[in-house]
Amino acid sequence: MRARVLVVDDDPALAEMLGIVLRSEGFQPSFVADGERALAAFRDSRPDIVLLDLMLPGMSGIDVARAIRAESGVPIVMLTAKSDTVDVVLGLESGADDYVVKPFKPKELVARIRARLRRSEDAAPEMLSIGPPTNQITIDVPAHTVTRDGQEIKLTPLEFDLLVALARKPRQVFTREVLLEQVWGYRHAADTRLVNVHVQRLRAKIEADPERPEVILTVRGVGYKAGTG
């Protein structure tokens, strides 16, 4: 089945070009040119992934990302002209999973989309747990569910992948680069802001007190590790 991609971009030439590239790579694109109609288009087309330009007429890309995130965990890849930390971090904090900076190469974009769509197909029953006894988080990997005290916690697929990566090797310290490779599928990129922002987002959902994390611990100067208490 061909993956559906919703392209939210106001530049018709770029949108058309994106369409050509995406179709040639076997995706099924649909388009919307402004932010206000983006949410309706999202509900109509039920895409597998959203390509979102941050600078949009009407509603800004940030608001669109927030609105989509409020009702779905669908992967969002931002297209941004600005690589400044403020812009990137703002985009990631509003719910985007990944970003590509214009001008990007088609291969790069396709790689990003594929990485976000790639789901672990291994259905072997696997139950993981992470966190100290007082805040035990249980992960049912094939079912893609995360629970604490029998209560389900809604995570986006990316957040789920990040948590699983950490929980599978509870004693290992993960550098941001390793996490980028395992979770985002980057080979060489060094943009650790992706990891930092998503760890913050994940902590906000699973930690009892995000200011004093117990489930995902920071190892200063190195990276992150699972907290096992």
Partner 1 sequence: MHPTAPDAARTTARARLRARALWHATQQWMLAASVGLRRSWRRSLQIRVVTITLLASSLPVGGFAYLVIDQSSRILLGNAEQETRARLEHSAGYAARQLGVHQSPGEAPLQATFESTIDYLGGGGRRQDSGDVVVLMASEYPHITTAASIQDEARKQVESLISDELKDKVAEGKVPWQIRTGDLGAGAGRTKYLVYGSPVPTKFGQVELYHLRPLTSQDTAANQIRAMVLATGVALVILLGLLAALVTRMVVTPVRVAARTAQRLSAGLLDQRMVVDGEDDLARLAASFNQMATNLQRQIVRLEELSRLQRRFTSDVSHELRTPLTTVRMAADLIFASRDEFDPAVARSAELLQAELDRFESLLTDLLEISRFDAGFAVLDAEPTDLVPVVQRVMDRLDRLAGRLGVPLRLELPDGPVIAEVDPRRVERVVRNLVGNAVEHGESRPVEVRVGVDRTAVAITVRDYGVGFTPDEAKLVFNRFWRADPSRARQTGGTGLGLSISLEDARLHGGWLEAWGAPGQGAQFRLTLPVRAGDRIISSPLPLVPADAEAPTGGVPAPVAGKGPLPATGVSERVEVTK
Q: Which residues bind partner 1 (CB under 8 A)?
A: 11, 13-14, 17-18, 20-21, 24, 55, 79, 81-82, 84-86, 102-107, 175, 177, 188, 190-193, 196, 220-222
Question: Are 117 and 75 in contact, with CB atoms under 8 Å apart?
Answer: yes
Closer residue to partner 1 in complex, CB, 2/102: 102
Q: With residue 24 as reference, give the H or E element that holds it.
A: helix 12-24
The span from the CA of 99 to the CA of 163, in Å, is 20
CB of 151 to partner 1, least distance (A): 33
The span from the CA of 25 to the CA of 48, in Å, is 15
User: How buried is 65 (Cβ within 10 angstroms: 0-12 exposed, 13-18 middle, 19+ buried)?
Assistant: buried
CB of 98 to partner 1, least distance (A): 16
Closer residue to partner 1 in complex, CB, 86/123: 86
Closer residue to partner 1 in complex, CB, 31/128: 31
CB of 134 to partner 1, least distance (A): 28
Closer residue to partner 1 in complex, CB, 85/172: 85
CB of 216 to partner 1, least distance (A): 16
CB of 203 to partner 1, least distance (A): 17
Closer residue to partner 1 in complex, CB, 88/139: 88
The span from the CA of 63 to the CA of 34, in Å, is 12
CA torsion 217→220→225→228, rounded to 10°?
Answer: -50
Classify 191 as helix, strand or coil.
coil
